[in-house]
Amino acid sequence: MVPRGAFSLAASIKFLEGFTPASYAGPADGVLELAFPAEGSWQTVGVRVRQEPSGGVTAEIVSPAEPGPGLVAEVRPQVERIVSLDVDGSGFPAVGERDPVVGELQRRYPGLRPVGFWSPYEAAAWTIIGHRIRIMQAAAIKARIAERLGEPVSFGGRVVHAFPSPQPA
């Protein structure tokens, strides 16, 4: 994947680590490890996202071990959306030139693009889970739902539970 405009996976990971609903704590090597149901088939996948020195971004499906071409086709646009690579950010620097507040944020967080929920279904579930309770409580409930009902994905020595799909098992 080739980002259009500034992009820093490291900045995105740092954002995600501080975003309570995500409860993300990944490896310390600048790699983003995601576990989620692929939209369409709802098959749980494990994806490892890296930013190459050239600036390009690669997403490797690590689970299932041998994904078919249909699953790869489902996962790519979903990963692009999750890490905000589905948006052309090439005009964003001009916004910072016109607006000093935006410009300061761009300097403070270079290349940051928000990391979205893995799916609109998960975002909708978060809205219901987090309604009128503290964000820390909601994040704990969401994590327990994933651990009890979601499928585990192994990234070597680390297991990540995907938030369950809307598809009944």
pLDDT band at 21 (very low <50, low <70, confident <90, very high): confident
pLDDT band at 29 (very low <50, low <70, confident <90, very high): confident
Q: State the pTM of this model.
A: 0.89
In DSSP notation, 60-87 reads: EEEESSS--HHHHHHHHHHHHHHTT-SS
| Mean pLDDT across 151-169 | 89
Cα-based angle 80, 56, 16 (whole degrees, multiple of 5): 50
- Report pLDDT digits (tens) over 47-85: 999 999 999 999 999 999 999 999 999 999 999 999 999
Which tokens in the block code for residue 145? 């739902």
Residue 4 has pLDDT above 60, yes or no: yes
